[in-house]
Amino acid sequence: HYECQVSSHPPIVQPYYLTVVVPEMNIADERGHPIKNKYYNSGSTIELQCTVNKIPEAQIILWKWGTKVLNFDNSRGGISVKADVTDNGALSRLFIANSNPHDSGNYTCALGEIAQASVTVVVLNGKDGEAPAAMHIGASSLLLGSQPLVLLGTLSTLMDISRRIR
Sequential pLDDT tens for the chain (166 residues): 888 888 888 889 888 888 887 889 999 999 999 999 999 999 999 999 999 998 867 678 999 999 999 876 677 789 999 999 888 889 999 999 999 999 999 999 998 888 999 999 999 986 655 555 544 433 322 333 333 333 333 333 334 434 444 4
Q: How many CA atoms lie within 13 A of 55 on its CB side?
A: 20
First and final C-alpha spacing in the chain: 62
CA dihedral of residues 92, 93, 94, 100 (deg, nearest 10): 150
Q: How many CA atoms lie within 13 A of 129 on its CB side?
A: 3
Name which of 30, 34, 44, 29 is nearest 123 in CA terms.
44
Question: What is the predicted pLDDT for the residue at 163?
Answer: 43
- Judge whether 139 and 130 are in contact, CB under 8 Å: no
Question: What is the predicted pLDDT for the residue at 43?
Answer: 95
Phi and psi at residue 149, in whole multiples of 5°? -65, -40
Name which of 23, 14, 21, 18 is nearest 90 in CA terms.
23
The type of residue at 166 is R
